[in-house]
Amino acid sequence: MDQDQDAVSTSEQDVPAADGADGVDAPVLDIGSEAEVAEYERSTGTMRGKVDRTGAALGTGRRKTSVARVRIRDGKGGITVNGHDMAKYFPLERDQQMILAPLKVTGMLKSVDVWVRVVGGGPTGQTGAVVLGIARALQAKNPESHHLLSDGGFLTRDGRMVERKKYGRKKARRSFQFSKR
């Protein structure tokens, strides 16, 4: 009991008191007077890429059934996909813009060479896998770019997959045609 009374008396001494309506001394709240404003620091997140012994940044991306292995080195801005130029391998402008987006956001479009090996899936899945792989490799190369890549949504794995076919149905949800008579 004596310790509690001592703690109350010392806390009342530290804070100026004001008379309340019922005659009881209540501490005056002074908002922000001595409050320390802490800077909000964002974490650097989980590092999914790595830098090998030759200095090349490596990243792996997956989307649907596609897997892309990406290697980034300092260079002049060339992008090679499975031994072909990116424009030849991905002829759609939409796919090309998606692949270039993480490089543009970090400002490394003309300063790095990108080598990609992608297997499985179709063009859309491969594009998504390449984007994730490039973003992870860029993050490994320059960890300060994590916030730019994260805010753009380039480091988020798209987990949507094709729903499996169920027995007794024609496809995943489609039933066989029903005949009433």
What digits encode the pLDDT tens for the residues 44-89?
Answer: 667 788 898 999 999 999 999 999 999 999 999 999 999 999 999 9
Radius of gyration of the chain (CA): 29
Whether residue 5 has pLDDT greater than 90 = no
Q: Which amino acid is at 85?
A: D
Which band of pLDDT confidence, cut at 50, 70 and 90, is reported for residue 37? very low
- Integer Cα distance of 179 and 181 in angstroms: 6
- Integer Cα distance of 52 and 30 in angstroms: 55
Give the burial string for 79-118 (b: 16+ CB within 10 Å, else e): bbbeeeebeebbeeeebbebbbbbbebbebeeebebbbeb
Task: Taking residues 154-177, report their average pLDDT.
Answer: 95
Q: Which comes out higher in pLDDT, residue 10 or 167?
A: 167
- Integer Cα distance of 124 and 90 in angstroms: 10
* Lowest-confidence region among 27-41, 51-65, 120-134, 152-166: 27-41
Whether residue 102 has pLDDT greater than 50 = yes
Q: DSSP for 36-82, please give it.
A: --------------EE-TTS-EEEEEEETTEEEEEEEEESSS-EEET
Tell me the pTM.
Answer: 0.73
* Lowest-confidence region among 31-40, 73-82, 153-162: 31-40
